[in-house]
């Protein structure tokens, strides 16, 4: 009887063991891993038996609901992925950012990266290398949320406006305009945290972090002071982000079209994430090359009091303006950008979404 009862149920749905104190009636229990289950007693007809043979049928949980593409849940997932992508990577390079900021503000004391690290370690210890990590984490998490979340939104929005034919024909233009729109909003979120971060990192004794630095900054500079650097931030970040997103989309498309013989939807998730990191790294190289003249210009102007852009070109030369310090910046920016795309797409895979790029434009995809 027992064997025939069990044979009607797949073996994965029950297990058999001795139970002493169960009642005759079936017992419904809740299992924290599987959900509700029903425990059936199989006796031998003798109610006086102390030992009964029982099997437990597990009620399988409902499968997790799939996130529909371009639904509110989809954009929420992309926003969360952006938080992890930018927040973690920028916080991880806080020591390098700290040295760079101090080199720009006080070049006599912080002559180069290696001496800058030595000065900080000598004066502030190891903990001092992570000074300003709080506003960095909060600021770039906010920026990443808006950057990636709104990029996905604007990419679909502009594709719908263009229609299927023109969105496919001018998809690179849509990537450029969508990323510029997203970065415009993202920098509004970043700017207050960036203002506090720079003040905490470059003025000894100003504050220990964001919790005491923010109210002190507002008290001394006013609320409007938090956005004093917004326009320069737009000038630096919007072209950078346009290159970052448009080149990534194009690189990934080329990789799936020419370098990988298998269609994207048939590739393993690990391979897709590898493509995301590689595409992000190459995109970071382009970003570094495009923004490097401006970076050299800013560094020169901060180091030479009263200097002009013409003085910088005359001193560095046109070739030097484009190449001085470029190799190390390519490594740094390429790695950072590759890591950001890798983390972002890894989160999308984690929640059941496809990785970015290498597919039809949003207007051609089913919502």
Q: pTM here?
A: 0.75
Rounded to 10 degrees, the C-alpha dihedral 342/74/134/338 comes to: 10
- Residue 279's pLDDT is 96
Angle at 43 (CA atoms; ends 37, 45), nearest 5 degrees: 145
Beta bridge partners of 243: none
- Residue 299's pLDDT is 61
Estimate the crossing angle of helix 133-169 against helix 94-105, to 10 degrees: 100
Interatomic CA distance for residues 253 and 152, integer angstroms: 17
Helix, strand, or coil here: 167? helix
Q: Which of 307, 113, 133, 155 is nearest to 208 (CA)?
A: 133
Q: What is the pLDDT along the chain (367 residues), one digit of tens a residue?
A: 444 444 444 444 344 444 444 444 444 444 444 444 444 444 454 544 444 555 454 544 544 578 999 999 999 999 999 999 999 999 998 888 888 777 767 778 888 888 889 999 999 899 889 999 999 999 999 999 999 999 999 999 999 999 999 999 999 999 999 999 999 999 999 999 998 998 888 888 889 899 999 999 999 989 998 998 888 888 888 988 999 999 999 999 999 999 998 899 899 999 999 999 999 999 999 998 888 887 777 667 645 556 777 887 888 788 888 887 788 778 888 889 999 999 999 999 999 999 998 776 675 655 5
Interatomic CA distance for residues 153 and 75, integer angstroms: 7
Are 155 and 181 within 8 A, CB to CB? no
Interatomic CA distance for residues 174 and 159, integer angstroms: 7
Q: Please give the domain boundaries of the chain with CATH numbers for all domains.
A: 2-58 (no CATH), 72-361 (1.50.40.10)
Are 101 and 198 within 8 A, CB to CB? yes
DSSP 129: G
The two three-digit tokens of residue 335, written as one number: 């790695």
């Amino acid at each position: 009887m027992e064997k025939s009862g069990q044979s009607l149920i797949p073996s994965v749905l029950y297990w058999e063991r001795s139970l002493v104190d169960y009642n005759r009636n079936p017992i419904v229990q809740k299992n924290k891993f599987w959900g509700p289950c029903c425990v059936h007693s199989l006796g031998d007809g003798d109610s006086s038996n102390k030992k009964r043979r029982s099997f437990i049928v597990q009620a399988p949980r409902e499968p997790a609901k799939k996130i529909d593409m371009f639904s509110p849940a989809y954009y929420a997932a992309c926003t969360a992925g952006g938080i992890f992508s930018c927040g973690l990577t920028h916080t991880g390079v806080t020591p390098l950012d700290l040295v760079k900021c101090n080199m720009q503000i006080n070049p006599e004391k912080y002559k180069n990266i290696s001496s800058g690290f030595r000065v900080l370690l000598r004066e502030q210890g190891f903990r001092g290398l992570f000074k300003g990590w709080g506003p960095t984490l909060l600021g770039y998490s906010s920026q990443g949320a808006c950057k990636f979340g709104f990029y996905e939104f604007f990419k679909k929005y502009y594709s719908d406006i263009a229609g299927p034919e023109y969105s496919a024909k001018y998809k690179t233009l849509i990537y450029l305009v969508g990323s510029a729109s997203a970065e415009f909003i993202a920098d509004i979120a970043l700017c207050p945290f960036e203002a506090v971060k720079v003040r905490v990192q470059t003025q000894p004794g100003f504050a220990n972090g964001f919790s005491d630095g923010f109210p002190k900054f507002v008290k001394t500079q006013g609320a409007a002071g938090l956005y004093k650097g917004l326009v320069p931030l737009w000038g630096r970040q919007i072209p950078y982000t346009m290159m970052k997103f448009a080149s990534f989309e194009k690189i990934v498309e080329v990789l799936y079209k020419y370098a990988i013989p298998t269609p994207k939807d048939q590739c393993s998730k690990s391979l897709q994430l590898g493509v995301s990191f590689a595409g992000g790294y190459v995109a970071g190289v382009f970003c570094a090359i495009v923004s490097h003249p401006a970076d050299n210009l800013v560094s020169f102007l901060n180091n030479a009091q009263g200097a002009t852009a013409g003085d910088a070109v005359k001193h560095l030369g046109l070739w030097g303006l484009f190449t001085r310090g470029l190799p190390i910046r390519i490594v740094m920016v390429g790695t950072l950008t590759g890591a950001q795309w890798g983390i972002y797409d890894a989160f999308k895979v984690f929640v059941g979404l496809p990785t970015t790029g290498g597919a039809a434009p949003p207007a051609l995809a089913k919502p």
